[in-house]
């Protein structure tokens, strides 16, 4: 993972140098606002003033991840056979739906 991040930094540096300064100003402003917002909403007084749940209560209300993920997927049930008649029916139904959405043609 460290090697990947180092490679991405090396690749993105020339790309960032070729961008206009306005992109840098936008990026710095956006990230500064995001950091300030995150820092402010972690304060209990700010959370109370905004009517947000306390952090401990929010963490307790969050669903916990499952202990173990299933190792295999359940087998698929048998699907109905695909016939030319069923395909044609689906095509006609789609055409009817699209036809009802289209505006009428004027003569």
* Rounded mean pLDDT for each run of 10 residues along the chain, 107 residues in total: 82 80 86 93 91 77 63 62 79 81 69
Q: Is residue 90 part of a domain?
A: no
Give pLDDT, residue 39.
92
Q: What angle do CA 2, 28, 10 make, to 5 degrees?
A: 30
Q: Is residue 83 part of a domain?
A: no
> What are the C-alpha distances in Å from 102 to residues 27, 32, 45, 64, 91?
43, 48, 55, 47, 16
Q: What is the pTM of this model?
A: 0.40
Give pLDDT, residue 76.
60
Give pLDDT, residue 68.
57
Q: Is residue 71 part of a domain?
A: no
For residues 101 and 93, the answer to whether their CB atoms sit within 8 Å is no
Give pLDDT, residue 29.
93
Give pLDDT, residue 80.
66
Give pLDDT, residue 34.
94
For residues 44 and 54, the answer to whether their CB atoms sit within 8 Å is yes
Q: Is residue 31 part of a domain?
A: yes
Q: What domain count does the chain have?
A: 1
> What are the C-alpha distances in Å from 35 to residues 38, 41, 60, 73, 106?
5, 10, 24, 41, 57
> DSSP assignment, residue 102?
S
Give pLDDT, residue 54.
84
Residue 77 phi, psi (nearest 5): -75, 160
Q: Is residue 27 part of a domain?
A: yes
How far apart CA 69 and CA 103 sit, in angstroms, is 50
Give pLDDT, residue 77.
63
Give pLDDT, residue 86.
80
């Amino acid at each position: 993972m460290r090697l990947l991040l180092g490679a991405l930094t090396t690749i993105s540096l020339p790309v960032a140098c070729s961008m206009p300064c306005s992109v840098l100003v936008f990026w710095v402003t956006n990230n500064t606002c995001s950091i300030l917002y995150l820092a402010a909403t972690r304060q209990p007084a700010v959370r109370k003033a905004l009517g947000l749940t306390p952090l401990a209560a929010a963490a307790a209300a969050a669903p916990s991840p499952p202990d173990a993920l299933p190792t295999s997927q359940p087998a698929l049930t048998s699907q109905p056979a695909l016939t030319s008649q069923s395909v044609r029916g689906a095509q006609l139904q789609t055409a009817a739906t699209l036809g009802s959405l289209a505006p009428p043609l004027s003569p």
